């Protein structure tokens, strides 16, 4: 059984105002006025996060933010980082084996939620308190997902790309692009695929403190995407580079220098304004877009709502 793939990128914002946070971001532009976040239903992520119009009490709380500018200012002034990226896999042990034996990640924790019929596993290059990690979701009985083109790749920084590529090949991993300088640049990269077909760009960047260094998403309008991640998520545009020879522009967004922090790599391919439903990308973009800000604000809120 296959299902559309979707994923979200979550952030932590350890220090946030102690008032209930209302989602008042570019995402709320889809609904009049600020909206409140809540968990409901029993989606794969232990209840889907929903944004819903506020009732009178919530509207009163919304006064806590004088307006959109203040809400955006909050996003900008917060001390935050990219926390984890969550996506679905068809066989948890198969993926854990590949990520630990071929990509050098550690299994950080695993939790089974039988009542919701899914199991999560967190893997990364260090503790979740200080590193960007992956959160894998296995839904009982779903062994295959439709991986399409809106999601581009994860980036893993290593000391020696060629060596990692040979290790992956020796272990039966799928190398889709041999080690060598990136087209139009100098950085040595390679591409491999994990057992579900998610692409990993192996990037030669010795000594980085954050080996899981990129999530690449293809976007249909780069300026719109940059504005969202700046305004709604408080990210900074770290670098923008046009590659006319290869007809794409890339923008790196994040909360700190690219060589020390995980970043969102937004790729605009000339003339491609959306990544079709057929490959389940629209909801990944929309889902990632909404749940990105929802998870971002929810995470902050949930950390303080009960204190
Ligand atoms: C900055 C670094 O992390 C990159 O990922 S650049 C790699 C480069 N990207 C693209 O070409 C993006 C456009 C492409 N049409 C797409 O949608 O993925 C890349 O993949 N280069 C290929 C190579 O062989 O160098
Ligand atoms: Zn990349």
ipTM: 0.98
C-alpha 272/C-alpha 270 separation (Å) is 6
In a domain, 182, yes or no: yes
Residue 60 pLDDT grade (very low, low, confident, very high; cuts 50, 70, 90): low
CATH of the domain at 152: 3.10.180.10
In a domain, 143, yes or no: yes
* Best mutation site among 150, 154, 183 for ligand 1 pocket (most ligand atoms within 8 Å of CB): 183
In a domain, 6, yes or no: no
pLDDT at position 52 over 60 = no
In a domain, 183, yes or no: yes
* Best mutation site among 191, 220, 250 for ligand 1 pocket (most ligand atoms within 8 Å of CB): 250
CA 197 to ligand 1 centroid distance, Å:
17
265 or 298: which carries more pLDDT confidence?
Answer: 265
Instruction: Say whether 201 is catalytic.
Output: yes
Strands 199-204 and 151-158: parallel
Mean pLDDT for the stretch of residues 156-179: 96
What predicted TM-score, i.e. pTM, was given to this entire model? 0.75
Q: State both tokens at 79.
A: 């001390």
In a domain, 71, yes or no: no
In a domain, 267, yes or no: yes
Which residues crowd ion ligand 2, with CB under 5 Å?
A: 155, 201, 214, 216, 265
> What's the structural domain count of the chain?
1
Pocket lined around ligand 1, Cβ cut-off 6 Å:
152, 155, 177, 182-183, 201, 214, 216, 218, 246, 248, 250, 265, 267, 269
Q: Which domain holds residue 283?
A: 81-304
In a domain, 48, yes or no: no
Q: Which ligand is nearest to the CA of 251?
A: 1
Sign of CA dihedral 218, 223, 228, 233: positive
Sign of CA dihedral 217, 219, 223, 228: negative
Q: Is 153 annotated as a binding residue?
A: yes
pLDDT at position 10 over 70 = no
In a domain, 15, yes or no: no
C-alpha 262/C-alpha 213 separation (Å) is 4
Q: Is 135 annotated as a binding residue?
A: yes
């Amino acid at each position: 059984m296959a299902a559309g793939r979707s994923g979200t990128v979550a952030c932590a914002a350890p220090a946030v105002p102690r008032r209930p946070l209302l989602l008042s971001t570019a995402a709320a532009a889809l609904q009049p006025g600020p909206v409140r976040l809540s968990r409901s239903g029993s989606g794969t992520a232990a209840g889907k996060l929903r944004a819903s119009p506020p009732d009178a009490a919530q509207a009163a709380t919304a006064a806590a933010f004088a307006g959109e500018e203040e809400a955006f200012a909050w996003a900008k002034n917060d001390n935050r980082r990219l926390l984890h990226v969550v996506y679905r896999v068809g066989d948890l042990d198969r993926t854990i084996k590949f990520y630990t034996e071929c990509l050098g990640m550690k299994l950080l924790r695993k939790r089974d939620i039988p009542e919701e019929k899914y199991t999560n596993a967190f893997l990364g290059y260090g503790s979740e308190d200080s590193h960007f990690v992956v959160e894998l979701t296995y839904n009982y009985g779903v062994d295959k997902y439709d991986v399409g083109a809106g999601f581009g790749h994860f980036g893993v920084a290593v000391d020696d790309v060629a060596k990692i590529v040979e290790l992956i090949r020796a272990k039966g991993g799928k190398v889709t692009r041999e080690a060598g300088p990136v087209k139009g640049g100098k950085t040595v990269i390679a591409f491999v695929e994990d057992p579900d077909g998610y692409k990993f760009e192996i990037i030669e960047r010795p000594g980085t403190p954050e080996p899981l260094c990129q999530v690449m998403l293809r976007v249909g309008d780069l300026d719109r995407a940059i504005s969202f991640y700046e305004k709604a998520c408080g990210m900074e545009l770290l670098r923008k580079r046009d590659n006319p020879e290869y007809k794409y522009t890339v923008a790196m967004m994040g909360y700190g220098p690219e060589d020390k922090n995980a970043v969102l790599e937004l790729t605009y391919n000339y003339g491609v304004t959306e990544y079709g439903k057929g490959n389940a990308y629209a909801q990944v973009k929309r889902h990632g877009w909404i749940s990105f800000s929802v998870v971002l604000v929810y995470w902050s809120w949930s950390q303080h709502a009960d204190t």
